[in-house]
């Protein structure tokens, strides 16, 4: 997906290359253990046609990634991160704006409850891009049997999450995203 004249993504379907290594290091740095999968689970996932491991470059410089799923009724952004020195330069907005334009399917993503200023800023960022903060009680399943489900909030685009879409996300999408259910 081409986002502007100098920003582009590279979709990976295997591990063990330079782009994967850059993205994986940022993933480990950006997300706490309870919000990420193991490298072995990632290896199994890379060939799943519904899963997209997109590494983002500005010209030839790695700036971040978007890991996302395409399902029949929605797209789920599982992880999005920018290299720290490239944050607050508009890249995240550009990436998500292009992502929205690529399909009419609704988008769903998870955010932490706004207990800190950083968490509130993250919610504000998505709201500026047209995402809706939903008030459904929601627990993200664990990525491994040794972790505890997380109480998170769901944000959706282009409209608030209906009960039927929430049901679809939990009962049809979760078993693929969280195979340890």
pLDDT at residue 181, rounded to an integer: 58
State yes or no: pLDDT of 81 exceeds 90.
yes
pLDDT at residue 5, rounded to an integer: 47
Contact 149, 157 (CB under 8 A): no
Share of the chain above pLDDT 70, in %: 97
- 33 contacts: CB under 8 Å, gap ≥ 6: 147
Q: Which of 99, 77, 86 is nearest to 154 (CA)?
A: 77
State yes or no: pLDDT of 177 exceeds 60.
yes
Structure tokens at 47: 């060939």
pLDDT at residue 50, rounded to an integer: 97
- DSSP bridge partners of 111: 153
State yes or no: pLDDT of 134 exceeds 90.
yes
Q: φ, ψ for residue 35 (rounded to 5)?
A: -110, 20
Mean pLDDT of the chain: 93
State yes or no: pLDDT of 4 exceeds 50.
no
pLDDT at residue 2, rounded to an integer: 39
d(CA 20, CA 16): 6
pLDDT at residue 3, rounded to an integer: 41
Contact 9, 55 (CB under 8 A): yes
- Can you tell me the mean pLDDT for 2-26? 86
pLDDT at residue 179, rounded to an integer: 80
């Amino acid at each position: 997906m081409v986002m502007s004249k100098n920003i582009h993504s590279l979709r990976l379907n295997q591990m063990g290359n330079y782009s994967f290594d850059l993205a994986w290091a940022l993933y480990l740095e950006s997300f706490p253990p309870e919000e990420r999968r193991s490298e072995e689970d990632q290896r199994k996932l890379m060939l799943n046609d519904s899963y997209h491991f997109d590494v983002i470059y500005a010209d030839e410089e790695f700036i971040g990634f978007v890991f996302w799923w395409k399902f029949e009724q929605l797209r789920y952004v599982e992880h999005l991160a920018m290299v720290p020195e490239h944050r607050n330069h508009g890249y995240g907005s550009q990436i998500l704006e292009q992502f929205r334009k690529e399909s009419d399917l609704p988008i769903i993503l998870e955010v932490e409850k706004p207990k800190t200023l950083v968490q509130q800023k993250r919610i504000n960022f998505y709201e500026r891009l047209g995402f809706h903060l939903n008030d459904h009680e929601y627990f993200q399943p664990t990525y491994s049997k040794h972790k505890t489900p997380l109480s998170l909030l769901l944000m959706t685009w282009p409209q608030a999450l209906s009960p039927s879409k929430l049901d679809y996300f939990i009962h049809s999408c979760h078993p693929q995203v969280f195979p340890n259910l």
